[in-house]
Structure 1
Amino acid sequence: MLQHSQNRIEEPIWLEPTELSFLQKKISETEAQVESLQSQMSEAKRAHEAQISDLMRQKDAKLVELASFRNILSPVRRIPVEILSEIFQLTCLPEDGILDSGHDIVLYTYNLSSVCAAWKKVAHATPQLWSKLCVSDRRPLKVTASIEWVEERFNRSGSLPLDVYLSLFREASAQFLGRILEYRHRIRTSDVTGYPDSYTALFNLPRSSFSRLEKVTLSIGHRDELRYHFPNKIEAFLDAPKLQHVQIRRTTSSTLLFKAYVLPMEQLATLSIASLYTIFDPAVHMDTLHACKGLVDLEINLKVYRGLTSNVSILLPALKYLKIDYWPSEEYDDLLCCLTLPLLERLRLIGRRQDIVFENVADFQRRSATSLLSLTLDLFVEDNVELFAQNLTATLGIFSNLQSLQLNRLGPDVNPLLGALTFSEGSQVLLPKLTHLGLQNRKQGTRYPSDLTSMVLSRWWPDDDERATCTGLARLQKVTLRGYCYDEEIACISELSGLEFDYM
Structure 2
Amino acid sequence: MTSEINVDEESQYFHLLSTNDEPSSLEVLELEKIIQRRESKVAQLDYLWFGTPFSRNSPIEHEEHVRSMLSRFRSILSPVRRLPPEILIEIFLLTRDWTSNTYFMGELQPLVVGPRPGPSPLRITHVCSRWRDIALGIPKLWATITSCHDTYDPSVPDTDPTSDVRLHSWLAWTGTVHPLQISFNGRLLGANSEDVQATPLSWMQPYMLRIKELSLSGDFEALPGGFFLILELLIMSDFSMHSIRRIRAYFPSLRRVNFRGHLEHLPNFLPWGQLTHLDLSLETADGDTLLDILSFCFSLVKLETSFSDIDNYELDGDENTILLPSLSSIVTQNYYGEITMWLLSSLTLPFLEAAYISYETWPGPTYSAFQARSSCPLTSLTLDHAMDAERMEAADFMTLLRETPSLVEIISSNAIYITPALIAGLVSSAQASCPRLAPKLEYFAIWNAYPLANIRATTMVDDKAILDMVTSRDPSEKPAVLEANPPPGVRVFRCQVPKRPYFGLSPEGDKLEDGVSRNVHIYF
Q: How does 1:290-309 map to 2 (within 5 A)?
A: 290-302=295-307, 303=310, 305-309=313-317
Contact 1:186 1:212 in 2 (8 A): yes
In structure 1, the partner of 2:290 is 285
Match 2:171 to one of 133, 142, 154: 154
> Can you list the C-alpha shifts for 1:396-441, whole angstroms capped at 9, x where unaligned?
333223232222244x523354554567755636434334444443
| Structure 2: runs of 5+ lacking an equivalent | 1-49, 152-157, 511-524
String of CA shifts for 1:210-267, please: whole Å, max 9, x gaps: 122212222345xxx75xx33454342xx211011122221114xx324xx2221111
Deviation at 1:57, TM superposition (A): 4.4
Q: Is the CA contact 1:343–1:370 (under 8 Å) kept in the aligned structure 2?
A: yes
Spell out, residue by residue over 1:62-108, the C-alpha distance to the aligned partner (whole angstroms, 9 max, x if none).
333666788859xx99x9657645533445643969669xxx94443
Q: Which residue of 1 aligns with 2:504?
A: 500
2:182 paired with 1:164: yes
Percent sequence identity over aligned pairs: 19
Shift of 1:347: 0.7
Q: What amino acid is the match of 1:360?
A: T
Change (3 A) 1:330 1:90: closer
Which residue identity does 1:434 align to in structure 2? Answer: L
Q: What is the CA–CA distance in structure 2 between the aligned matches of 1:112 and 1:422, rounded to whole Å?
A: 65
1:445-484 correspondence runs (5 A): 450-451=460-461, 470=476
| Inter-partner Cα distance in structure 2 for 1:470 and 1:326 | 42
CA separation of 1:85/1:404 partners in 2, compared to 1, >3 Å: closer, same or farther? farther
* Higher percent of residues as helix: 1
Aligned residue for 1:190?
214
Q: Displacement of 1:391 after TM fit?
A: 0.7
Distance in 2, Cα, partners of 1:133 & 1:219: 17
- Aligned match of 1:312: 320
Kept in 1: contact 2:387–2:449 (CA 8 A): no
Cα deviation for residue 380 of structure 1 reads 4.9
Contact 2:305–2:332 at 8 Å: present in 1 too? yes
Counterpart CA distance in 1 for 2:412 and 2:338 is 26
Q: Tell me which amino acid in the other structure corresponds to 1:346.
A: A
Task: Tell me if the contact between 2:340 and 2:359 (Cα under 8 Å) persists in the aligned partners.
Answer: no
**Is 1:212 the equivalent of 2:230?**
yes
Aligned partners of 1:327 and 1:334 also within 8 Å: no
1:20-99 maps to which residues of 2 (within 5 A)? 44=51, 46=53, 48=55, 55-64=63-72, 84=91, 87-91=94-98, 93-94=100-101
Match of 2:243 in 1: 230
Q: Which 10-residue stretch deviates more, 362-371 or 444-453?
A: 444-453
Q: Distance in 1 between matches of 2:378 and 2:56?
A: 89
Picking from 241, 249, 258, the partner of 2:260 is 249
Distance 1:419 1:230, change over 3 A: farther
Q: Measure the CA separation in 1 of the matches of 2:234 and 2:423.
A: 42
- 1:310, distance to aligned residue in structure 2 (A): 0.8
Counterparts of 1:491 and 1:330, CA distance in 2: 36
1:262 paired to 2:269: yes
Q: For residue 361 of structure 1, what is the aligned residue in structure 2?
A: 367
Could you tell me how far apart the structure 2 residues matched to 1:143 and 1:157 are? Answer: 23
Mapped to 1, the partners of 2:409 and 2:93 lie a distance apart of: 34
Q: 1:321 to 1:93 in 2, by over 3 A?
A: closer
2:405 counterpart SS class: coil
Instruction: Sort the Cα spacing of 1:376 and 1:492 in 2 relative to 1 into closer, same or farther, 3 A.
Output: closer
CA RMSD of aligned residues (A): 4.8
Against the structure 1 CA distance between its residues 235 and 323, is the aligned structure 2 distance closer, same or farther, given a 3 Å change threshold? farther
| Contact 2:424-2:469 at 8 Å conserved across structures | no
Question: What amino acid is the match of 1:313?
Answer: T
Residue in structure 2 matched with residue 486 of structure 1 by the alignment: 488
Change (3 A) 1:371 1:210: same
Query: What stretches of structure 1 of length at least 5 have no aligned partner?
Result: 1-42, 462-466
The TM-score normalised by the length of structure 2 is 0.64
Q: Does 1:338 align with 2:346?
A: yes
Q: Judge conservation of contact 2:126–2:132 (CA < 8 Å) in 1.
A: yes
Deviation at 1:116, TM superposition (A): 4.4
Query: Which residue pairs with 2:417 in the alignment?
Result: 413
The 8 Å contact of residues 387 and 450 in structure 2, kept in 1 or not, is answered as no
**Which residue number in structure 2 is paired with residue 376 of structure 1?**
382
1:89–1:128 Cα contact (<8 Å) kept:
no
Checking the alignment, whether the CA contact within 8 Å between 2:427 and 2:470 is kept in structure 1 is no
Kindly tell me: are residues 330 and 292 of structure 1, through their superposed partners in 2, closer, same or farther at Cα, counting changes over 3 Å? closer
> Structure 1 residue 489: deviation in Å?
5.2
Structure 1 counterpart SS, 2:505: strand
Q: Which residue of 349, 357, 360 corresponds with 1:349?
A: 357
Q: Is the 8 A contact 1:420 1:429 kept in 2?
A: no
Question: Residues 349 and 374 of structure 2 are in contact (CA less than 8 Å); yes or no, is this contact kept in structure 1?
Answer: yes
